[in-house]
Structure 1
Amino acid sequence: MTVRKLLPLALFLCATPLFAGPFLVAHRGASKDAPENTIPAFELAWKQGADAIEGDFHLTADGKIVCIHDYDTLRVSGTKKSVKQSTLQELQELDAGAWFQPQWKGVRLPTFSEVAATVPAGKKFYIEVKCGPEIVPELLRGIEASGLKTDQIVIISFHAPVIREMKEKASQFKAYWLSSFEKSSPLEPSLDDVLTTLRAIKADGFSSQADARLTAEFIKGIRDAGFEYHSWTIDEPKVAENFLNLGAQSITTNRPAFLREALEHN
């Protein structure tokens, strides 16, 4: 029996979108098996059957968009360069693959357009904005140039002003606010805090870390208010199954092939 069949019928019917199995988003690509946020990782994610890829994006000093998670390049290249203070050319001169495994030596940081070009028809592209709203004009130009359809694009960010700006400038694209939770109890942000933020920035949904303290009531509260709920970053099948049963509409994972196999044969 699949995880989906374990969901209450009413919850299943209201899920958006409907799908036959768990909707899996490859976190920075198939980042368990290839260097994160690189073309090899994204291409491998598609080969592993991911429904979507998630990549992290910053604006460079010369106004280009580059795919990298951190605010500097030290962790993924061994050389420390500030992303926002470096040109795209300077960033792409770095080796962003050798840190992961020797076989990936020479892999470079990709541009937004290069990542977008890997997205097949019918698949989705989760674009996590790591900087501020200043990226929005260039990001919209990049999305238009990509040729991807509106329903293939999802904007995500921890920065509420980014989501607000995107919805003001291009409301046709789905946009989710991201948040982790403080270690304090009860949960912070609270359900009321989350809903207040979502309404203020006109977000389409909320995406959170897979915190064990989250309850069905919390997630139901988000969805009953008309918002989507998504969860990250989950590599363990039992955790993924739990969050799907709680009402998560997608699971972001570093291991799309492994997780799908485990969930669909549970």
Structure 2
Amino acid sequence: MKFTILLILTILAPSLPAVEIIAHRGASHDAPENTLAAVNLAWKRNADAVEIDVYLSRDKKIVVIHDQDTARTTGHRGLVHRQTWAQLRKLDAGAWKAPQWKSEPIPSLEQVLKTIPKSKRLFIEIKCGPEIVPPLAILLAKTKTPAAQTAIIAFSLEVCTAAKKRLPALEVFYLKHLKQNPETAQWPAIAPTLAAAKTAQLDGINIGFKGQTHTPAFAQYLHQIRTQTRHQKLGLYAWTINTPTQARQLITTGFQGITTDRPGFIRHQLKKP
């Protein structure tokens, strides 16, 4: 009897819309960010996609790292663009996270592309300027990576525009950090961001929020963003979402994808009624 009641409640419980769960720098909660270990762990935990960050090395190799300097994740001070691929690949990008990850190297984008399962995709965040777009296009052609398995994201509208122009078959999303005014409690208007994305013929926006996100006012703000985004026929994604409450709020509002450090955990929690 108890089992029957539980089954009925599960069936009647409102289900969440489908959403793309994207692993932020790989499964970075548990493995060192932007490494093959983090990327492969994300696939193992059934992430729909993985997000990684890229820069150009001195010898024009596309390398996977978040910061413009290697100090934070390797202990070695030096700007990425002033170091060669041979130098960068020798650095230890894992020991800072935990002893078990010692000697985990900085990977190249080419190495990461080879890990993508057939039904998944990779979000490539460009951290440098538009100079990376031509070698990126060459690499994607060389590796025969399907357009449906890669997307480009960037905070720079110039970079997004260049990427969409050179790689029109790829989805390109404009990153925007929305910060609540601490004095007025007002959130910034989303219209200028949407207009910029639309003018550049981008596919959508990917936004982060900083402020009080557990209020009725914020919930209303999210619905305004969703309404305006739909009107402009743009995709809508958010980062970095690490709690089930945040994830559910965004998904029920109509966000198509969420980026998280904990893809396995979030997916498991969202399955609960």
Does the 8 Å contact 2:178/2:209 carry over to 1?
no
Matching of residue 65 in structure 1 with residue 47 in structure 2: no
The letter for the 2-side match of 1:187 is W
TM-score by length of 2: 0.88
Matching of residue 163 in structure 1 with residue 160 in structure 2: yes
Structure 1 distance, partners of 2:91, 2:256, is: 37
Secondary structure at the residue paired with 2:250?
Answer: helix
Secondary structure at the residue paired with 1:180?
Answer: strand
Structure 2 distance, partners of 1:163, 1:5, is: 37
Between the aligned residues of both structures, percent identity stands at 36
The letter for the 2-side match of 1:198 is A
User: Match for residue 248 of structure 1?
Assistant: 255
Q: Which deviations, in whole Å up to 9, do the C-alpha atoms of 1:28-70 show, x marking residues without a partner?
A: 0000111000001000000000000000000111111000000
Equivalent runs, 1:1-266 vs 2, <5 Å: 5-6=14-15, 21-184=18-181, 185-188=185-188, 190-211=189-210, 212=213, 213=218, 214-266=221-273
Q: Which deviations, in whole Å up to 9, do the C-alpha atoms of 1:77-128 show, x marking residues without a partner?
A: 1111101111111111111000001011111100010011110101111000
Shift of 1:22: 3.0
Does the 8 Å contact 1:220/1:247 carry over to 2?
no
Superposition misfits of 4+ residues, deviation over 6 angstroms: none
Secondary structure at the residue paired with 1:181?
Answer: strand
Q: Which deviations, in whole Å up to 9, do the C-alpha atoms of 1:9-40 show, x marking residues without a partner?
A: xxx6xxxxxxxx43200000000111000001
Structure 1 distance, partners of 2:19, 2:162, is: 30
**Bigger Rg, structure 1 or 2:** 2
Structure 1 distance, partners of 2:250, 2:73, is: 31
Secondary structure at the residue paired with 1:230?
Answer: strand
User: Match for residue 18 of structure 1?
Assistant: none
Does the 8 Å contact 2:179/2:209 carry over to 1?
no
The letter for the 1-side match of 2:39 is F
Q: Which sections of structure 2, spanning at least 5 residues, go unmatched? A: 1-9
